[in-house]
Amino acid sequence: MCGRFTMAIDSEDLRTQLALGQMPLDWEKRYNIAPSQDVPTVPFAESRDVVWMKWGLVPFWAKDPSIGYKMINARAESVAEKPSYRSSFRNKRCLILADGFYEWRKAGKLSTPYYFQLENGAPFAFAGLWDDWENKGVSSLPGLPGLTTCTLITTSANADVQPVHSRMPVILTKETMWDWLEQDNPKALLSLLRPLPDGSLFSHQVSRDVNSSQSQGEYLIVPIEKS
């Protein structure tokens, strides 16, 4: 499971490094992006524009948007067949932009957060799915407008992540990210949903303050002494 990530790069630097289109005007560096928050995504390869979507997929057929809290991650092994995701897998794939992510190592009752990045903190994209949901009057929240939401795909952990967690997000580098949007062959798409090669990620232990979605600031990614 991946439940926190970062995007702490200036918008113009990100646009240049990943060859993106138009960037949101309200862009800001973020060090603790959490479920239910707006996340930066690219749903269309033609424009490559970056748009906000809410993290936690609400399928078009859902009766209530609260289902999104349970759908922040989709497993690569079943994403093409599972009813919750198969329509989006076929027609509504997206890139979720990041420059690092957190995972927790559990030892008994203690969970210790670690921060993972590519070499030199290079930005990348998580493989994601998205959907539009329209409130048709059956929601428990009357008056709620429609939503555009997304989920992040996970796979088995590589050797870099395995000591901390058994799963990791599917990371697409700038060499593979556009294939996720442009391909239409299911087998080719599924071939992208694999762990990064061993040795691709660097990690260090960070403050437990990241456990709270209210915590923000660059200090969250600063290495601390292992406990």
Q: What is the pLDDT of residue 138?
A: 52
Domains of the chain: 5-221 (3.90.1680.10)
Does 28 participate in catalysis according to the annotation? no
Q: What is the rounded average pLDDT for all residues in the chain?
A: 92
The residue assigned the tokens 């239910």 is: 36
Tell me if residue 90 falls in helix, strand or coil.
helix
Q: What is the pLDDT of residue 12?
A: 96
Q: What is the pLDDT of residue 41?
A: 97
Q: What is the pLDDT of residue 223?
A: 96
Q: What is the pLDDT of residue 129?
A: 98
The residues of the chain scoring below 50 in pLDDT are 141
83 Rama class: left (phi>0) / alpha (psi -120 to 50) / beta: alpha
> How many other C-beta atoms are found inside a 10 Å radius of the C-beta of residue 22?
12
Does 150 participate in catalysis according to the annotation? no
Q: Pick the closest to residue 4 from 26, 38, 24, 31 (CA basis).
A: 31
DSSP 180: H
Pairing between β-strand 93-98 and β-strand 201-205 as defined by DSSP bridges: unpaired
Q: Which of 94, 103, 150, 225 is catalytic?
A: 103
Q: How far apart (Å, rounded) are the C-alpha atoms in residues 74 and 58?
A: 12
Q: What is the pLDDT of residue 2?
A: 85
Q: What is the pLDDT of residues 37-82, one digit of tens each?
A: 999 999 999 999 999 999 999 999 888 888 888 999 999 999 999 9
Q: How far apart (Å, rounded) are the C-alpha atoms in residues 148 and 166?
A: 29
Q: How far apart (Å, rounded) are the C-alpha atoms in residues 163 and 107?
A: 11
Q: Is the pTM of this model over 0.85?
A: yes
Do the Cβ atoms of 155 and 76 come closer than 8 Å?
Answer: yes
Q: How far apart (Å, rounded) are the C-alpha atoms in residues 83 and 192?
A: 20
Q: How far apart (Å, rounded) are the C-alpha atoms in residues 217 and 225?
A: 19
